[in-house]
Structure 1
């Protein structure tokens, strides 16, 4: 989808105070002359966000992967859009530094140049099992350990008597 169309699509979904402020800005701040998504994000943040950009930067710098990599990626992407003028190499560096130790070195060694490359590399290298909410309540019959009744071990015979 072209950026102009994407911007129009997002603006169509504004409502309430956001709708009023944005459309007032069409006249007073030339919002209608925005043609890039990056500029759109910058204007949107400056118009509606009251939090200081430095606080978002600090959040990015402190963000660490403590669970599934997908969760970390989502949190990082949510915060990074709030710091629109950050250079790509800085974004990539912050992303990599927040990864779990086992992934950090691997991703860093491949030297991704964009956040997209860093995320894709991370997902490709991640070997953790996918999150699941399934828990088995199945009880195994035939013993206290799973597959105990299928044991291939035979009954042991006593050792021969010692001849001293």
Structure 2
């Protein structure tokens, strides 16, 4: 039956071995076939399986593990399980060991479950980082306190001790500075334009800021 599935060099090799009567058992055939046409000898498959490590996605590691494990017929279930768990990435290996898998199939299922949880956590962390980056970008444009306030053209005094909060006005993310020590409240002129607020330039006055200096406002909002 085997000869029907072989051609070219493989068929010639099989006919030669058959004449020599050296392939009386299926195990003998598989070992001899792997020695002849495989990239490694039989013992090399064991070594490759033992040294296999996960360096990419879990599904790729499992595929490589299965491809090597199926080449080796006489490995004990315990050794296969040990090889699989030992080759996982550290963050997966630790949690899979805690679940005490009894077989390789159980270990693979546990690894999939743990990997899915880690992927969700990683996604949430990326969202948090993105939100923090947005807040930092808003802080860089020196958005100040949001109230009915005086408007001036100098940068916000971030060096003064203040409490920074974040707020949303008309779907715009802003940074609010509390207790800046100034005599008035201020807002960045760019934020005024972005929010579409009207600027009353008929009321221009000098205001004292937190470092005891004075600046001239450009109007009121």
Sort the TM-score into its range (normalised by shorter chain): 0.5 to 0.7
- TM-score, normalised relative to structure 2: 0.47
1:81-106 CA-partner distances (Å, limit 9, x unpaired)? 22221101101101100101111122
Task: Choose from 173, 177, 200 the match for 1:152.
Answer: 173
The verdict on how the C-alpha distance between 1:30 and 1:55 changes in structure 2, with shifts beyond 3 A counting, is closer
Q: 1:55 to 1:30 in 2, by over 3 A?
A: closer
Residues 1:22 and 1:123: Cα distance change in structure 2 (over 3 Å):
farther
Q: Which runs of 5+ in 2 are unaligned?
A: 120-133, 139-169, 184-209, 211-221
Alignment of 1:54-133 (within 5 A): 54-127=43-116, 129=119
Over the aligned positions, Cα root-mean-square deviation in angstroms equals: 3.7
C-alpha contact (below 8 Å) 1:65/1:72 kept by paired residues: yes
For the residue of structure 2 that corresponds to 1:119, the secondary structure is helix
Q: Which structure has the highest helix share of the two?
A: 1
Contact 1:76–1:95 (CA<8 Å) still a contact in 2? Answer: yes
- Residue segments in structure 1 that go unaligned for 5+ positions in a row: 1-7, 130-144
- Residue deviations 1:78-136 (CA, integer Å, cap 9, x gap): 2222222110110110110010111112212222232222212211221355xxxxxxx
Equivalence for 2:9: 17
Aligned residue runs from structure 1 range 22-61, under 5 A: 22=14, 28=21, 29-30=23-24, 39=27, 43-50=29-36, 51-61=40-50
* Contact in 2 for aligned 1:64/1:72 (Cα 8 Å): yes
Q: Deviations over 1:41-62 (max 9, x none)?
A: x632323424333322221222
Provide the C-alpha distance between the structure 2 equivalents of 1:62 and 1:155, rounded to a whole number of angstroms: 56
C-alpha distance in 1, partners of 2:177/2:98? Answer: 53
Q: Aligned to 1:126, what secondary structure does the other structure show?
A: helix
Helix, strand or coil at the partner of 2:6: coil
Pick which of 92-101 and 69-78 moved more.
69-78
Q: 1:150 to 1:24 in 2, by over 3 A?
A: farther
Provide the secondary structure at the position in 2 that maps to 1:116: helix
Higher relative contact order (CA 8 A, sep 6+): 1
**Which structure has the larger Rg?**
2
